[in-house]
A and B are shown apart, each in its own frame.
Chain A
């Protein structure tokens, strides 16, 4: 019971925070993101190559995971 209350409260809090955050003004304006839009600033320019290197490492190391980039950079469009 207590666990479900915590989950519900957390979900509600996230929803409120994220909804209210829609009004946040971006401190880096869209017209200031030309450098971030440069292909050299992409987290992963060549996904096949990165996946291959991850596969090589995971086959020889005990560690795995969390190497993927979260989305594609600056959203300059």
Chain B
């Protein structure tokens, strides 16, 4: 198929995007966790056909999610991620290769990826194919935040295959379809999360046990998106994604965005997103007894849940017409509020006997706030 795509050639040339540098700050607060992120990215064209990009990202995590807090102490950790990308443009085809390394005290992940993007049919259509290979080393910190004692539990291998089409429909409307199949093999469970099972000998009425996951996982996601230029200068985007995997999770995502520029200095954006999923087949909030089935999980990510997001973004161009070597400079503020509701995951950290019997605690829900600020210069 790749060979077939490469048969399509054209005489006119495309161009790589402008040089760009970003500094980025982010803050996530919700569900007992605070995560602050810092990032710097630089992208430069070496020639008209060849570009390089480098990114450095640091996440500082404090706190822990409610299911982890129900059995462990507060976590403090830091994730450092470095990535490098090269892009090569030949006629209508862009070849991209990248490498990403992410290191935490108890988790190491290295990803190599390649992709190609081909413009065709008079540049009305862009087809993209990609492949990524990730090797993960999974550990558990049995010490404390200041005195870590990491036990390495295993490895996991992830392979992601992706394809996409972006299609101009009319002079005001563009549509896209993305497909991604991801396979995992190895140690896939979250070591910090536990199952719970009924135990009359425990004063709480239940005991905690180790999660047991299958050692393989394959997921398929399809996203359909459309973007329409309104009669005045503004755009509306609609996105739908369907997700299914071999663990029984089915997810549906709906999103609508509205983008409204004002003169050449401001761009305002609003978005609404709704997500809903079913639980994994081996998930339960409360198992009847220890070892009641081969695979057991109580990871809140695998529960039946929905979440709603409302977000806004403002971009201000402080150099709308450029300055010296810079073509444009912008600063962007982005804020989102996310409401998480769980249908079969209960809050056992704050509720229990004698008021609430096991399995009758209130369902868990929480709000999260996400803030981003970044400065971008184009040159």
Residues in B300-339 with C-beta less than 8 Å from chain A: 300-302, 305, 307, 315, 332, 334, 336
Q: How far does the Cβ of B183 sit from chain A's closest Cβ, in whole Å?
A: 11
Q: Collect the chain A residues with CB atoms within 8 Å of residue B315's CB.
A: 45
A4 to B211, CA, bound (A): 41
Interface range for A: 35 or more
* A69 engages B234 (CB within 8 Å): no
A62 to B24, CA, bound (A): 27
Q: Collect the chain B residues with CB atoms within 8 Å of residue A71's CB.
A: 94, 117, 119, 126-128, 164, 166
Q: Is B124 an interface residue (CB 8 A)?
A: yes
With contacts A48-B41, A61-B251, A70-B164 taken as known, whether A14 is within 8 angstroms of B176 at the C-beta atoms is: no
Q: Collect the chain A residues with CB atoms within 8 Å of residue B4's CB.
A: 11, 14-15, 18
Closest Cβ neighbor of B332 among chain A residues: A46
Closest Cβ neighbor of B10 among chain A residues: A22
Residues in B133-165 with C-beta less than 8 Å from chain A: 160, 162-165
* B122 engages A38 (CB within 8 Å): no
Closest Cβ neighbor of B26 among chain A residues: A52
Q: How far does the Cβ of A29 sit from chain B's closest Cβ, in whole Å?
A: 8
Q: How far does the Cβ of B235 sit from chain A's closest Cβ, in whole Å?
A: 5
Q: How far does the Cβ of A1 sit from chain B's closest Cβ, in whole Å?
A: 20
> Which of A18, A24, A35, A72 sits near B7, CB closer than 8 Å?
A18
* B162 engages A66 (CB within 8 Å): yes
28 A-B pairs with CB atoms under 8 Å apart are A19-B7, A21-B121, A28-B170, A38-B235, A40-B234, A46-B374, A48-B39, A49-B24, A49-B334, A53-B370, A61-B301, A61-B305, A62-B249, A62-B280, A63-B277, A65-B162, A65-B182, A65-B219, A67-B178, A67-B223, A68-B128, A68-B130, A69-B164, A69-B178, A70-B177, A72-B126, A75-B92, A77-B14
* Chain B interface residues toward A at CB < 8 A: 1, 3-5, 7-10, 13-15, 17, 22, 24, 26, 28, 31, 37, 39, 41, 55, 92, 94, 117, 119-124, 126-128, 130, 160, 162-166, 168, 170-172, 174, 176-182, 219-223, 225, 227, 229, 233-235, 241, 243, 245, 247, 249, 251, 253, 259, 261, 267, 275, 277, 280, 300-302, 305, 307, 315, 332, 334, 336, 340, 370, 372, 374, 376
